[in-house]
Chains A and B, each alone.
Chain A
Amino acid sequence: MNKSSPPDVDLVIGLCYNLFKLIRNRYMKGVVIINSEMILIDSIKELELSVTQYMRIKSSYDALSEELKKNDTEVEVYTQGSILLGTTIRPYRKNKNVEYDVDLVAQYPKDKSTLLPQQVRDYVGNTFKQNGTYASKLLEKKRCWRIEYAEQEGLGFHADIVPAIPESQIEIQKILTKPGFEYLADLSVAITHKDDDDSRAEWLSCNPKGYGEWFSLIKSEKYRTMIEQKRSTIYMENKDLFSNIDEVPIQLVKTPMQRVIQLLKRHRDVYFSGKKSEDDKPISIIITTLAAEIVDTLNLQQLGFVDLLAEVTRALIEVERLIDNKLYTSYQIRSLIYRKESEWWIPNPVNINENFADKWNDNINIPRAFFDWLKALERDIIDNINDKNFHKILCEKLAVPCKDSSENEESIISVSSNTSSKPWSRHGK
């Protein structure tokens, strides 16, 4: 840079004005501001399961669980993936919204040494094949059985049921986790994998419950009070559905951490939709893991949605720069994505020898697509947050119908716990 050149006056004025806006937005929230936080959250709400939709899905998988219990009373059916984490967002492929995936595990308390993988697959498969209602909707996949549900009132979904048994003690002993999460290894399960009808099913190790625990620990550490507050709001709004607050599924409570993940996933889907690289788009578990790891490293508590989104995006972009930095060697201070013997690595926090970026090493277009997407994310969302057309831009980038904002003519005052005072009275009970 040429040190002797005079500072650009327009640039300085522009910076001062932005600084002024920043300060005003931060400290004078009492003044009328329709803020970007509200616009972002409203858009995501359009794209997520409503309380009733969630409860309808829940009753469907409760019915599946009942059915499996008829054959084996000891089976435990639980959710995994985005339904468990509360990060579900309407999937979007080939330029249209598609049905939701509901991922379930059916775990039988059996001894691994006495069983073949195929037998465990059959526990689930045979139960549904014998049942008239499910047999026609049943489909065998590599690792699961899929049941298709007919679309009802705009809600289409399928349930993927993964047959599983507890992992053997020998295997559990070998599992390494991120420091501090060693006890979660005990929750590991053995699942089955079968490439096609002719090949033999094999065992695979995974830990969906442990992963869920890890995620939920980070979430509740940062957002404990907010979770309680929101849960009681959901309860009070849906007293017809829940008889007490404990019945409100924790997955319905969305912290900014989950919202950020929902937004990233949706933006990814829309960004890659119709592109040649659509098959190379980053998988959700990578986005979820990286975002949660970043939230975990932030020292700030209860960060709001916009601030958190900016932090996470910035950190993700920073990751690319750090990848080949040899200074980061031990797990604790290693970059979130790193290379080991020229292989890409994004370890599973509850089993660090499992590599979520496995496929990146077979196809160089996958990491390329990931880093291209991050740049697009910054350009499309972060750079436009203060734009006066933010609402319009966001609708386009997330592929949501842009509602006419005439209802927004009402001046909306944004309030939060630190901008409001508490009423008091001299007398009373």
Chain B
Amino acid sequence: MVSRLINSVEDWISSLNNSTLIIEDKRSEITVSGRIRVAYYYEGLEDKLSDEFNIKIHIYKDYPLTIPDIEELDGKIPKEFHMNDIFFCLGVPLEMLMYAKNHSIEQFLNRYLNSYLMSFMYYYKYGICPYGDRSHGSHGKLEHLKEYFQEQNDRMVFKLLKLTINEKVGRNEKCVCGSGKKYKRCHLNTIENLKMSIDKKELVSTYEELIRFVKNKNTA
């Protein structure tokens, strides 16, 4: 397991040019540290940006159950940009856990670290994230679930989330989202996918957090 993780990390490092990164195998984690040189071409925006970052990646050996933490050592990225204490806020936890479940660490770093650094470089130059960022806290989590279920409405997200946690619907019954389509042709896959990749406890706590958030929002 661990050797597969290290191989995948090595694959990732060898795909980068002009970067000097060192892998260390520690007791509960693998760390990758050094300078990473990145250049991005923004499709649709026709813009090229490049820069160098001094980073340290903590890859926990229970990946994909735990998401890697990444820090930047030169203080180039300010705390105001998406950061939790010292680590990058790569994305919404639920989304990352789901992605990690079906992807190697190489693919994970390619997607999330690249997106993060390129968003930062663009933000640094123009003051906005090129392809958007999530709202802070619970609001961002809700945004992600809306996108995931492709629903506009808060209530529908809760219905679908509840279904993921404990209800059963027959494949040929009508979907709870009200589309009129059979469940198997509608939300079945999205729900099964969520069920399989996320621990039930995590789903329940997300559900409760979001319910609280929406209630507060409505009373405020």
Contact = CB atoms under 8 A, between A and B. Distances in A.
B43 A427 contact: no
Nearest to B135: A424
A421 B41 contact: no
A263 to B, nearest CB: 14
A236 B45 contact: no
10 closest Cβ contacts across the A-B interface?
A: A30-B110, A428-B136, A424-B134, A416-B43, A423-B82, A425-B89, A420-B115, A411-B17, A424-B140, A417-B131
Interface in A204-256: 226, 229-230, 232-233, 236-237, 254
24 contacts: A31-B110, A232-B126, A236-B125, A236-B127, A237-B126, A410-B18, A413-B39, A413-B41, A413-B118, A415-B114, A415-B115, A415-B118, A415-B130, A417-B131, A421-B90, A421-B91, A421-B116, A422-B131, A423-B81, A423-B88, A423-B89, A423-B91, A426-B136, A428-B137
Nearest to B141: A424
Q: How large is the interface on B (under 10, 10 to 19, 20 to 34, 35 or more residues)?
A: 35 or more
Nearest to A420: B115
Contacts of A412: 39-41, 48, 50
Contacts of A38: 41, 48
Contacts of B136: 424-429
B83 A425 contact: yes
A411 B134 contact: no
Contacts of B38: 413
Contacts of A287: none
A392 to B, nearest CB: 19
Contact of B16 (A411, A416, A422, A423): A411
A37 B43 contact: yes
A413 B140 contact: no
B219 to A, nearest CB: 20
B8 interface: no
Interface of A: 30-32, 35, 37-38, 41, 45, 226, 229-230, 232-233, 236-237, 254, 302, 304, 409-417, 419-429
B17 A229 contact: no
A422 B45 contact: no
B44 A416 contact: yes
B46 interface: yes
Given A30-B114, A420-B115, A421-B111, A427 B41 contact: no
Contacts, number: 146
B115 A426 contact: no
A30 B111 contact: yes
A422 B132 contact: yes
Contact of A425 (B43, B82, B107, B120): B82
Nearest to A33: B41
A411 B132 contact: no
Q: Is the interface of B mostly helix, strand, loop or mixed?
A: mixed
A304 B134 CA distance: 25
Interface string B188-203: 0000000000000000
Interface in B1-22: 15-18
Count chain B CB atoms within 10 A of each CB in A31, A233, A423 and give the residue with the most.
Answer: A423
Nearest to A236: B126
Contacts of A409: 17
A414 B91 contact: no
B92 interface: yes
A413 B114 contact: yes
Given A415-B41, A421-B91, 7 more contacts: A31-B15, A41-B46, A230-B45, A236-B125, A415-B131, A420-B114, A428-B82
Interface in B41-58: 41-48, 50
A417 B41 contact: no
Interface string B95-129: 11001000000010011101110111000011111
Nearest to B96: A421
B119 to A, nearest CB: 6
A421 B44 contact: no
A5 to B, nearest CB: 42
A82 B43 CA distance: 24
Contact of A226 (B44, B89, B111): B44
